[in-house]
Amino acid sequence: MSDVAASKIPVTVLTGYLGAGKTTLLNRILSENHGKKYAVIVNEFGEIGIDNDLIIGADEEVFEMNNGCVCCTVRGDLVRIIDGLMKRKGKFDAIILETTGLADPAPVAQTFFVDEDVRDKTTLDAVVTVADARWLSDRLKDAPEAKNQIAFADVIVLNKTDLVSKPELAEVEARIRGINPYAKLHRTERCQVALNDVLDRKAFDLDRILEIEPEFLGESDGHDHDHDHEHDHHDHGHDHAHGHGQGGLKHYHDEDMKSLSLKTEKPLDANKFMPWLQALVATDGQSILRSKGILSFKDDDERYVFQGVHMMIEGDHQREWKADEPRLSKLVFIGRELPEQKIRDGFEKCIA
Amino acid sequence: MTSFNSDNPASIVSVTDRTLKIELPQAATALHFLGDSAGFVGVEDSVSFAAVSGEVSTHDIHGGGILCTVSDGKRIVTGGDDGKLVTVDASGATETIATDAKRRWIDNVALHPDGAIAWSAGKTAFVRPTKGDEKTLDVASTVGGLAFAPKGLRLAVAHYNGVTLWFPNMAAKPEVLEWKGSHLGVTFSDDNKFLVTTMHEAALHGWRLADNRHMRMTGYPSRVRSMAWTADGKHLATSGADTVIVWPFVTKDGPMGKEPAMLAPLKAKVTCVACHPKSDILAAGYSNGMVLMVRMQDGAEILVRRDDDAPVSALGWNAKGSLLGFASENGDAGLLPL
């Protein structure tokens, strides 16, 4: 990473439905003895008790770019606030942006893709979604915003786990995984989570798209389900998302929001793949919330990685494939009513 | 004088040896001359006045970032993230004109020739006339920019999807000029015939005020952050491209159907423009730190400051046109007596 990139200020987006515990998590982050200074952008200025020197009230003004395409919405207030905050660079190490409970994270993320000034100065670190273990299952049924926030997340803090029974917890986790099997999930009471689990994640850094594997429950958080299951799931790769009730673990299809993963050991034709991906996000970008991929192209010794939000895609060569590394191409899409067969067929045609 | 290849500074007429280096305590966000005193507005906390002797005096005016600034040549008015609107004169005497009740950021400020002041915080625009009560106007989204019309007490308030034209002393409903997108900076032509905004997209938008006809000024590779009217008020010079883009407002149609002049091309982006107050000359600052003086008639260039990688962040002339000042993002600054 160059010095210029290293000096970019990381921005963590904190989202979650009303009452899930965003402010609790924010205050935990700020009160912890980490020696870092944060600039905090909140939506309800001055109405909640947050103890921090640099607090900025935001208006969540979502602007449409490019003549009103809904896939190109950005947060205009964020552009202005980051411009103003940068006058004080050196006074803080990172920015935490709290959205309202009803906000769609996409315009925030897209701001970091489209706006050149924001891109020059800051980097989107991760979308962290706080979810209420007790009420999330209900909200996923009646609040599309809550579902968006889960689907969009890089990190999910499943809070208030002390208010539910074990079966209830398993139920809500399975519902989360039915939508987004890729986010890191942490179970918490009163948002007690290690800071390095929510901050400095570099989830949008192309250099960090090392592996695209579903995140399974109980990997490192001391959960009580047995190792065989985990192993089993790893072996099954993406099939997992489509098998129900494997080994006693619940799995759900969400009716409209799901993930789709594609994999091939055959090299792809870059001249076919890139136009296909661009055409796909141009036509179906509205359905695709997040996308990521690690690609192996024919006659190319370097891994190509990309990631995207709705219609916006960024990609680059990452590094050379290692000698002992299988040259697999893997893609993941998370979205609403994904045209699964169309995506699978299109992808097949990109094989060289 | 002829135009030389300015990508090769060795081949261009240079006055770099005649510039006076100014030591500033911090990077400057804007430059306003009060007489012959160069007021470099810092990115936060303070303003520094530099004399041609090289002497610098710094005055604290804000407790935080300085977000907006304007001057009428007699005083500098600034708004900050401390929620304060402050005025300072060349002696360093400061006065807090207003403090936002909710300590919101003061995002924009404008000065009327008669002394009235306008500012904005969030979606609210404020006007304090020289006499009478302070007036406020709430617009539908955050105010992007403010400008007083050259005649009468009329304020242009730029915002999302257009500009609101408001007569603060009249009860009439403000007029809204609509155009999709986010409008940031705003300026009236000196003859009060045209209104131009810089947009969040890399474009300008204009209206002919007689009939509100639209003028689209597009083709920029990046957002326009600096605009300046020429001394005769007939041309608008802008940043945002790798040349200075100058739009003609000579006829009643303004730039409609006309190509802009493209002056002083470099392999760097223009970040600041400032027009000489009397002559057909403009100064341009670039993203690579270079400052050029350009004669508009034939595009002839003179090198004022060499490139050093820090973008030029402030540029300005004194009212007589005998001093050009500049500052870059790394805090370097200079004055050129002419």
Q: What is the pLDDT of residues A172-193, one digit of tens each?
A: 999 999 999 999 999 999 999 9
Confidence at residue A2, expressed as pLDDT on a 0 to 100 scale: 39
Confidence at residue B116, expressed as pLDDT on a 0 to 100 scale: 96
Distance, in Å, from the CA atom of A350 to the CA atom of A342, rounded to the nearest integer, reads: 13
Q: What share of chain A is helix, strand, coil (3-state, %, to 5)?
A: 35, 25, 35
Distance, in Å, from the CA atom of A340 to the CA atom of B113, rounded to the nearest integer, reads: 63
Mutation target to probe the A interface, by most A beta carbons within 10 A, among B45, B200, B216, B222 is B200
Contact residues, chain B, for A85 at CB < 8 Å: 65
- Average pLDDT over chain B, rounded to whole? 94
Mean pLDDT over A28-50 rounds to 79
Residues 296-325 of B with CB under 8 A from A: none
Residues 137-196 of B with CB under 8 A from A: 141-142, 144, 160, 180-182
Task: Write out the two tokens for B317.
Answer: 């002339």
Q: Is the dihedral of CA B170, B171, B177, B180 positive or negative?
A: positive
B44 at interface of A, judged by CB pairs closer than 8 A = yes
Confidence at residue B8, expressed as pLDDT on a 0 to 100 scale: 53
Mutation target to probe the A interface, by most A beta carbons within 10 A, among B142, B159, B226, B329 is B142
CA distance A51 to chain B (A): 16
Distance, in Å, from the CA atom of A340 to the CA atom of A238, rounded to the nearest integer, reads: 13
Confidence at residue A203, expressed as pLDDT on a 0 to 100 scale: 87
| All domains of chain B in start order, with CATH | 9-337 (2.130.10.10)
Q: Contact, A164 vs A35, CB < 8 A?
A: no
Confidence at residue A210, expressed as pLDDT on a 0 to 100 scale: 60
Distance, in Å, from the CA atom of B271 to the CA atom of A84, rounded to the nearest integer, reads: 17
Mean pLDDT over B64-72 rounds to 96
pLDDT in tens, A41-62: 987 654 556 667 788 888 888 8
pLDDT in tens, A318-351: 889 999 989 999 999 999 999 999 999 999 999 9
Numbered residues of chain A with Cβ closer than 8 Å to any chain B Cβ: 45-46, 56-57, 59, 61, 63-68, 76-77, 79-80, 84-85, 87-88, 115-117
Mutation target to probe the B interface, by most B beta carbons within 10 A, among A43, A63, A65, A111 is A63
- DSSP 8-state code for residue A322: P
- Asked whether the beta carbons of residue B200 and residue A87 sit closer than 8 angstroms, the reply is no
How far CA A117 is from CA of A8, A205, B26, B180, in Å, comes to 11, 18, 21, 21
Q: Is the dihedral of CA B63, B64, B68, B70 positive or negative?
A: positive
Mutation target to probe the A interface, by most A beta carbons within 10 A, among B180, B182, B199 is B182
Q: Contact, A107 vs A148, CB < 8 A?
A: no
CA distance A89 to chain B (A): 10
pLDDT in tens, B72-111: 999 999 999 999 999 999 999 999 999 999 889 999 999 9
B222 at interface of A, judged by CB pairs closer than 8 A = yes
Q: Pick B160's closest partner by Cβ from A45, A63, A116.
A: A63
- Which DSSP string corresponds to A198-228? HSS--TT-GGG-----PPPTTSSS---S-HH
Closest residue in A to B83 (Cα) is A56
pTM: 0.86
Mutation target to probe the A interface, by most A beta carbons within 10 A, among B68, B105, B226, B330 is B105
Q: Which of A285, A286, A281, A303 is nearest to A294 (CA)?
A: A303
Mean pLDDT over B120-130 rounds to 96
Contact residues, chain A, for B102 at CB < 8 Å: 45-46, 57
Distance, in Å, from the CA atom of A147 to the CA atom of A105, rounded to the nearest integer, reads: 11
Contact residues, chain B, for A116 at CB < 8 Å: 222-223
- Asked whether the beta carbons of residue A59 and residue B142 sit closer than 8 angstroms, the reply is yes
pLDDT in tens, B197-206: 999 889 999 9
Mean pLDDT over A63-72 rounds to 68
- Asked whether the beta carbons of residue B66 and residue A87 sit closer than 8 angstroms, the reply is yes
Binning pLDDT at 50, 70 and 90, where does residue B61 land? very high
In this structure, the strands spanning B56-71 and A38-42 are unpaired
- Asked whether the beta carbons of residue B29 and residue A87 sit closer than 8 angstroms, the reply is yes
pLDDT in tens, A196-239: 999 988 888 877 666 666 665 434 343 333 333 333 333 333 33
- Higher pLDDT, residue B63 or A68: B63
Distance, in Å, from the CA atom of A77 to the CA atom of B256, rounded to the nearest integer, reads: 31
B287 at interface of A, judged by CB pairs closer than 8 A = no
Binning pLDDT at 50, 70 and 90, where does residue A9 land? very high
Q: Which of A220-229, B37-46, B157-166 has the lowest mean pLDDT?
A: A220-229
- Asked whether the beta carbons of residue A63 and residue B180 sit closer than 8 angstroms, the reply is no
Degrees to nearest 5, angle at CA A244 with A243 and A245: 125
Q: Contact, B22 vs B50, CB < 8 A?
A: yes
CA distance B97 to chain A (A): 21
Q: Which long-range contacts (CB under 8 A, 24 or more apart) does B176-180 make?
A: B177/B207, B177/B212, B179/B205, B179/B207, B179/B214, B180/A64, B180/A67, B180/A68
B214 at interface of A, judged by CB pairs closer than 8 A = no
Mean pLDDT over A99-109 rounds to 89
| Prediction ipTM score | 0.85
Q: Which residue in the block uniquely carries the two structure tokens 């300008």?
A: B204
Contact residues, chain A, for B181 at CB < 8 Å: 63, 65
Query: Residues in chain B, how many?
Result: 338
CA distance B196 to chain A (A): 19
Confidence at residue A68, expressed as pLDDT on a 0 to 100 scale: 57
Confidence at residue A49, expressed as pLDDT on a 0 to 100 scale: 65
Which residues, listed in sequence order, are joined to residue B272 by a DSSP beta bridge? B285
pLDDT in tens, A247-302: 445 667 777 888 999 999 999 999 999 999 999 999 999 899 999 999 999 999 99
Confidence at residue A276, expressed as pLDDT on a 0 to 100 scale: 96
- Which DSSP string corresponds to B188-255? E-TTSSEEEEEESSS-EEEEETTTTEEEEE---SS----EEE-TTSSEEEE-SSSSEEEEE--STTTT
